[in-house]
Structure 1
Amino acid sequence: MVDLENIFFPFYKDNLDAIKQNNSIEFAYYSSLEVIHYILTDGFIWLRNVSCMNDWQEVYRGRKLFFKYFSIKSNRQKLLLILKKIDMDFPWENNLLSFIQDFPVAALYDTYIASLTEHDKDDDSAGKLSMWRGYGRGVGGAIILKKQELLSRDISGIWLTKVAYFTYNEFDECINQLMVKLNKNMVLLKNTNSAVVWKYLQRAILFAIISIKDPGFKEEKEWRLVCFDSSTDKDENHLKPDKRVIEGIPQIIYKLNIHDLLPTLLNHVIIGPNQYGPVAYNALKDDILELYKKQKYVSEDLIREKLKYSTIPIRPDYL
């Protein structure tokens, strides 16, 4: 049965189905070893404002692609013709243009994310060199999370989205596929409240804008955990705002509490290439033993399974 999620989020749904069927893929969270230590001990993943990303201007790429697409009159008319078939009297055009034009004010500082990357089992020991270079800067680590366990959790206020590394032509094709879906499911859409249809369309645009990156980042294979400061349905047991000073910048973050889930979610930890490997190993070993202290594991077997060094032979000062 086709539902509104399948109509408005085909790219996400297709990628989600593909990753669910790929048994060699897990999710990895790359950060500094300091952050990895605190996740293991405190059980919080921080979601930072989207403006604090490594390439903070990347969110504007999605908006730029939308402007370029809808600046072509025939593209606007094609979409509006479909929407007016759903409801002739609903203000589709004004809503659409206003939402895209106001995006930086309306959504940029409202959006908080944590980045995950697809982790192939072939990378269980080494990790990804590009990620060691992008995160941790010579003192990096990665927490490998069990995909099936992560996808089975439903925390109100947290969304999962797939990053798209689109060229303009690929973006154009994605919008065209959306319009095909709208036409194909016209009966369902006509029988749905137009305000609800607009809500889904608005969310599809928002998630596309915050999930489009330059094709040069394609090897990251990124997914994102997303929450919105303005959302009123956040699960306060798992998701709360806080203030932290990060690299000298005081800022609001959101703390995602996975403390009780972590023993089940954790596949293993990788210590990235760095000169303090043995020191980090001893500390993280204790963190992992403490995390599983209530479970019947042989310590040596547990650490062998849960803690690994990256085997990439690169000097940390080159990261």
Structure 2
Amino acid sequence: MEPSPEMLRKFMIFNPLAFERYNEMKSSGRRFVHYSTSEAAFYMIRSNRIRLRSSAVMNDFMEIEYGLTCLVRSWRGDNGALLRSTIDGMFPGTSEELAKLFDTWSPLFKEDTYIACLSEHENKEDDLGRLSMWRAYGGPSGVAVVVNPKVFLSVSEALSAFTSPVAYLTQDEFDTEFKRVVDNIVMTRDFLIGEGKQEFFNYLFQAFRSAVLCTKHPGFAEEKEWRIIYAPQYNKSELIERSVELIRGSPQIVYSIPFKDYPNKDFEGAELPKLINRIIIGPTQFPEELRAATVVLLEEANVPDAASKVVISSIPLRQ
């Protein structure tokens, strides 16, 4: 489904950086890629679903805290003061309500957020993959699952989850982006008042939530990450399944999104035969054996031309 002009306008007002990244990704022709261990890739294909894991067990356990710290500092600074005076002038008492609601929810941003990570994939990476990602996520036998981007960039309410680009920002850069949102609100004040307080409040709170969940230290910028985000206490979906899985020897609660289309809800392109573009076998001791097994998995999943879609990276990385 194509978003309405009003929806696009509000997206541009409250999430200008993400709006630009979405448009750039759509026009670039790039795909997404999920770097993982071969075990995780095996589970994904065989089970026909992708797992979302708690943000508390992500590689960089400070990720959520970093975004939260950036937002709090901006809120307490000059730009935050300007935002508070602006929104209270539009809807009296809004800044206090927003602060109270945010304080209530902020502990759950880590405790009740489940994430699957994707990276932008360049055409030039089709044969080798990306060395830094093999090192970070491949383990002794890494696999990169390259997927077509359509379903991740679509507008649909089929699942109570959303896909967002990650912003790699210093505090000063975060302040600049925060100020962009404030300026946008000032410039569109009459339009936003006409939309009503609740609509305005919901969009601003969601912008704050996204800023916390999708801001990372600029040292990670080479990952070019996008996140699939689900928070069951915030917005539960009957289509996303909870289970307890053993991951690297540790039991964890995970939520799984089936690779299934919901055409009546404008959610298409998620089924494996259409979703998988190619698979790159990373540096490993037995690459030919892993490739052969992966081809069989894809054939069992009815992915067409499976053998032509699985390649072995020739990067000479020692594990």
Residue matched to 1:54: 59
Contact 2:160 2:236 in 1 (8 A): yes
User: Quick one: distance in 2 between partners of 1:274 and 1:210?
Assistant: 33
User: Quick one: distance in 2 between partners of 1:190 and 1:34?
Assistant: 51
Residue matched to 1:201: 204
Aligned to 1:266, which of 262, 266, 276? Answer: 276
Residue matched to 1:214: 217
- Cα RMSD between the aligned structures? 1.8
SS of the residue aligned with 2:127?
coil
SS of the residue aligned with 1:191?
helix
Residue matched to 2:68: 63
SS of the residue aligned with 1:45?
strand
- Classify 1:184/1:63 alpha carbon distance in 2 versus 1 (closer, same or farther; 3 Å): same
SS of the residue aligned with 2:167?
coil
Aligned to 2:33, which of 11, 28, 32? Answer: 28
Matched, 1:5 2:11: yes
User: Quick one: distance in 2 between partners of 1:257 and 1:205?
Assistant: 28
Residue matched to 2:168: 165
Residue matched to 2:247: 246
- Classify 1:34/1:21 alpha carbon distance in 2 versus 1 (closer, same or farther; 3 Å): same
Residue matched to 1:280: 290
Residue matched to 1:84: 88
Q: Which moved more, 1:99-108 or 1:239-248?
A: 99-108
- Classify 1:153/1:313 alpha carbon distance in 2 versus 1 (closer, same or farther; 3 Å): farther
User: Quick one: distance in 2 between partners of 1:277 and 1:186?
Assistant: 58
Contact 2:22 2:153 in 1 (8 A): no
Matched, 1:18 2:40: no
Contact 2:64 2:109 in 1 (8 A): no
**Sequence identity of aligned pairs in percent?**
29
SS of the residue aligned with 2:252?
strand
User: Quick one: distance in 2 between partners of 1:171 and 1:145?
Assistant: 30
How far apart are 1:77 and its partner, in Å?
Answer: 2.2
- Structure 1 unaligned regions, length at least 5: none
SS of the residue aligned with 1:202?
helix
User: Quick one: distance in 1 between partners of 2:15 and 2:236?
Assistant: 21
Alignment of structure 1 residues 84-103 onto 2, 5 Å: 84-88=88-92, 91-103=93-105
What whole-Å deviation, never above 9, does each CA across 1:116-143 have from its counterpart, x for those lacking one?
0000010001111111111121211011
TM-score by length of structure 2 reads: 0.89
How far apart are 1:146 and its partner, in Å?
Answer: 0.7
- Structure 2 unaligned regions, length at least 5: 262-270
Residue matched to 2:195: 192
SS of the residue aligned with 1:138?
coil
User: Quick one: distance in 1 between partners of 2:75 and 2:300?
Assistant: 54
How far apart are 1:50 and its partner, in Å?
Answer: 0.9
